[in-house]
Structure 1
Amino acid sequence: MQVRYDFTGQTAIVTGGARGIGRAIAEGVVATGADVWIWDIDPVELPGTRSVAVDVTQRADIARALTCLDGGRIDILVNDAGYLGSYRSFEGFDPAEWRQILEVNLLGMFEVTHQVLPLMRRARAGRIVNMGSLAGKEGLPSLAAYSAASAGIIAFTKALSREINDTEIRVNCVAPGPIDTRMIRDLGNETADAMIEASPLGRLGDPKEVAALVMWLCSDASAFNMGAVFDMSGGRARY
C-alpha cells in the first residue's frame, strides 16, 4: 500500500539531494506538492525542484542559497549531505580525510540548521530531519570517523529537540544501515556483499524506503515524535 502525503504550499530544503538517499527524498517530497529546493555541491536537474550549488561547510554558500527564498517560510529541512570517506582502519586514515568527514556530515549540518532554524522559529513550526547512520549507534570498524560524525548527529538531534520544545518545530533523526546507493557500491563488491550477508533481510535498503520514513516524519502524523532516532537497517540494528 502506498501512503500519500499532501505538502502543498510548504517549502522544503533537501541538502545532498543530487543523488542517493537525498535524491529519493527530494523526489518523494516534490510528489506531495511541496516547493522543493535541492542544496548540493553539484547542482542537479530534477523535475519540479529547484537546485542551488551549496557547500554545506561554507556559511556564505548557505546564506546565498537562502536569499533565493526571498526570506520566505521554510517548513521542512532534511539534512542529508554526507561524505562516507575511505573504508579503512583508523590508523590508516589521513587526518585530513577524517576532518573532511566531520566537516561535511556534522559541522555542515550545524551550519545549515543554524541558519534555517531562525526562520522556523519565526513561524514557530517546521520539521527537521537529520540523516545519521547505523554507524553512529553501533560504531563500525573501518568507518571510525564516519561513525563518530553520525553519533554526533544523533546527539545533536536529541539536544536541539529539547531546546525548541516551546514551538511546533519537530527535530528527528533517521539512521539508515547500508542502502543501495553509489556511496555504498563505491566501497567495492566485496564490501557490499559482506553488508548484504550481514543483513537479516539479506539485501541492501532501497533509497525510496528511507524517503518514505522521512516523509512520514515531516507529516502531521508524526507530530508527537521529538528527538527520536529511527532505524532503517533491515534488522541489523541491535538496539
Structure 2
Amino acid sequence: MNNIDLKDRVAVITGGAQGIGLAVAKRMIAGGAKVSIWDMDEAVGKKAAGELGCDFRLVDQRDLSAVEKVTRDTEEALGGIDVLIACAGIAGANAPVRDYDPQEWLRVMDINLNGVFYLNRTIVSGMIERGYGRIVNVASIAGKEGNPNACAYSTSKAGVIALTKSLGKETAGSNISVNCVTPAAARTRIFDQMTQEHIDYMLSKIPRGRFLEVDEAAAMIVWLASEDNSFTTGGVFDLSGGRATY
C-alpha cells in the first residue's frame, strides 16, 4: 500500500465503519490524518473506531441540524475539517419504476442525496474560511448509466454527480477540490439490500469480470483527498472496471 501524506489533516468519513469508507479510514490514518468516522450505526461505528484508534461520531445525515452540531463538535475536538469523504448511502429496493414505492424513493433520496448535500453545505463553509479543503463524494456508475430496477438509487447518485460539479465550480478559487468517484459494485454489506438478480446484472456489465475491491476504491479516493490533488475539481473519476461510457 502506498501511503499518501495527510499528516495532521482532519478528515471526516461518513459511513467509515465498513466497506469502502473503512478502507479509506485505514489509508488516511496510515498517512497521518486525524480521522473522525461518522455513522448512524453506533455499535459498528464504535467498534471500527476502537480498532483504528480514531474518533467516532453518531449522526444521521438526513438531519441538517444534527450534521451542523456534529461538525461543530468534531472541529472543537480535532480542529478544522480539511477533508470530507461522503461515503454513507443505501441501495434501496429493487423494482421497476411503475411499481416503485414512493416512500422508498423518498427514503433513498433523503439519505443518498439530501444527506450528502447537508454534509457538503455544512462542512465546506469552514473550508472556505480557512482557504483549504478536499471533498470526495462517493457516487456510482449507476448515476451515469441508470441501472434498471434501481431508479431511486440511480437518480440519487446522478444528483451527487451534479452536486459535485456545482460545488467544485463554486469553490475553485479557494484552494478547495470537490470531486466524486463512480464505483461499480463492491462486495460490501450493501449487497444485503439487493436481489441476487440485480447483483448478477451488475457483474455482467463490468468488463474486468469481477467486482471492485474496497482497497482499490480507497487508493483513488485518498489521492483525491490529498494536497497533491491541487488542480482537479468538479471531476468524476471512474471506478467501474471499464463499464463507464463517459
**Cross-structure match for 1:27:** 26
Q: Find the aligned partners of 1:63 and 1:190 in 2 and give their Cα distance.
A: 39
Matches of 1:35 and 1:120 in 2, distance apart? 16
Q: What is the aligned partner in structure 2 of residue 68 from structure 1?
A: 74
| 2:57 alignment counterpart | 52
Query: Corresponding residue for 1:216?
Result: 223
Q: What is the alpha-carbon distance in structure 2 between the residues aligned to residue 220 and residue 60 of structure 1?
A: 30
Q: 1:186 to 1:146 in 2, by over 3 A?
A: closer
Structure 2: distance between partners of 1:209 and 1:20: 12
Q: 2:145 maps to which residue?
A: 138
- Equivalents in 2 of 1:200, 1:17: separation in Å? 28
Conservation of the 8 A alpha-carbon contact between 1:36 and 1:48: no
* CA-CA distance at 1:117 after TM superposition: 1.0
What is the identity, as a one-letter code, of the residue corresponding to 1:36? V
Secondary structure, in 3 states, of the residue corresponding to 2:55? strand
Separation in 2, partners of 1:189, 1:90: 19
Q: State how far apart, in whole Å, the 1-side matches of 2:134 and 2:24 are.
A: 14
* 1:194 Cα deviation after fit: 3.3
Task: Determine which structure has the larger helix proportion and give its number.
Answer: 2
| Other-structure match for 1:96 | 103
State the match for 1:233 in structure 2.
Answer: 240
Letter of the structure 1 residue corresponding to residue 167 of structure 2: L
State the partner residue of 2:17. 18
Aligned Cα root-mean-square deviation (Å) = 1.5
Shift of the alpha carbon at 1:114? 1.4
Secondary structure of the 2:228 match is: helix
1:197 maps to what in 2? 204
Q: Deviations over 1:56-81 (max 9, x none)?
A: 01122212212232183111001111
Give, in angstroms, the shift of residue 186 of structure 1.
4.0
Contact 1:11 1:74 in 2 (8 A): yes
- SS of residue matched to 1:221: coil
Tell me the matched-pair count: 238
Partners of 1:171 and 1:87 lie apart in 2 by 30
Query: Is the contact between residue 11 and residue 34 of structure 1 (CA under 8 Å) also seen in structure 2?
Result: yes
- Asked whether the equivalents of residues 91 and 193 of structure 2 are also in contact (C-alpha less than 8 Å), the reply is no
Deviation at 1:9, TM superposition (A): 0.7
Structure 1 segments of 4+ aligned residues over 6 angstroms from their partners: none
Preserved contact between residue 128 and residue 174 of structure 2 (Cα < 8 Å): yes
Please give the secondary structure, in 1, of the residue aligned with 2:186.
coil
Unaligned runs of 5+ in 1: none
Map of 1:39 onto structure 2: 38
Deviation at 1:185, TM superposition (A): 4.8
CA distance in 2 between counterparts of 1:11 and 1:114 reads 17
User: Offset at 1:83?
Assistant: 1.2
State the SS of the aligned residue for 2:173. Answer: coil
Once the two structures are aligned, what percentage of the paired residues are identical?
Answer: 39
The residue number in structure 2 matching 1:114 is 121
Query: For residues 68 and 155 of structure 1, what CA distance do their matches in structure 2 show?
Result: 27
Q: TM-score, normalised by structure 2?
A: 0.92
Which residues of structure 2 form unaligned runs of 5+? none
Query: How much does 1:187 deviate?
Result: 1.9
Report the residue type matching 1:94 in the other structure: D
